[in-house]
Amino acid sequence: MKKILAAGALLLAAGSALAQVYVGASAGGTRFDLDATGQCPGPGLKCDRNDVGARVYAGLRFTPDWGLELGAHHFGKSEVSTAASGTVLGKAELKGYHVLLANRLDAGNAWFLNTRLGVAMNRVEVSEPGPALRDHKEKAAFYLGIGAAWQMSRSVALRLDFDTTRGEYAGEKGRVSMYSAGLEFEF
């Protein structure tokens, strides 16, 4: 994965004189459909799979429609707690890096449709209260994103996106998704 990120960074640096460079950030609600703690669902347990996540990225458009994006994501966490007292029994969170091929389709009137497809190196971290357990697992997975953008000015766009990838821990696999809003700046 480090070789892929290094090659992507070199490609961004080499092509920046010939193409459009952009950076962006977004944040929004996440859904964690991965039971990394192995406890949900269970009798007397509450499983909170919704959280807040974020994504930052830098990209290079080789043509007005196609580009390459490098970025980092944190898709929030899920928590397992007792239903009666709310005592947290375990947490799992997903974060990582991604390299994506990005497509932007002009939809007219300053609107664009975006698609992104690539690979992510995801890290699932699991923890329980006290010194009992703190562990993680890293694994490459596909990454998919779709959305729309409104070009507010020549160099600033408002984006509404849906991003999804998969996580894995101790044999448990699941999708982690984020609906987000953010800003993108072109240079």
pLDDT greater at residue 64 or residue 54: 54
pTM of this prediction? 0.85
pLDDT of residue 13: 59
pLDDT of residue 67: 96
Tell me the mean pLDDT in the region 164-169: 91
CA dist 126 to 5, 30, 113, 142, Å? 25, 17, 36, 21
pLDDT digits (tens, 9 = 90+) for 59-89: 999 999 999 999 999 999 888 888 788 888 8
Structure-block tokens of residue 26 = 């977004």
pLDDT digits (tens, 9 = 90+) for 81-121: 887 888 888 888 999 999 999 999 999 999 999 999 999 99
Instruction: Return the residue matching tokens 């509450």.
Output: 46
pLDDT greater at residue 41 or residue 68: 68
pLDDT greater at residue 19 or residue 178: 178
pLDDT of residue 66: 96
State the Cα–Cα distance between residues 156 and 23, nearest whole angstrom: 10
Contact 119, 135 (CB under 8 A): no
Domain count of the fold of the chain: 1
CATH classification of the domain holding 122: 2.40.160.20
pLDDT of residue 129: 77
Domain that holds residue 6: 2-186
State the Cα–Cα distance between residues 171 and 29, nearest whole angstrom: 26
pLDDT digits (tens, 9 = 90+) for 10-37: 655 555 556 799 999 999 999 988 776 6
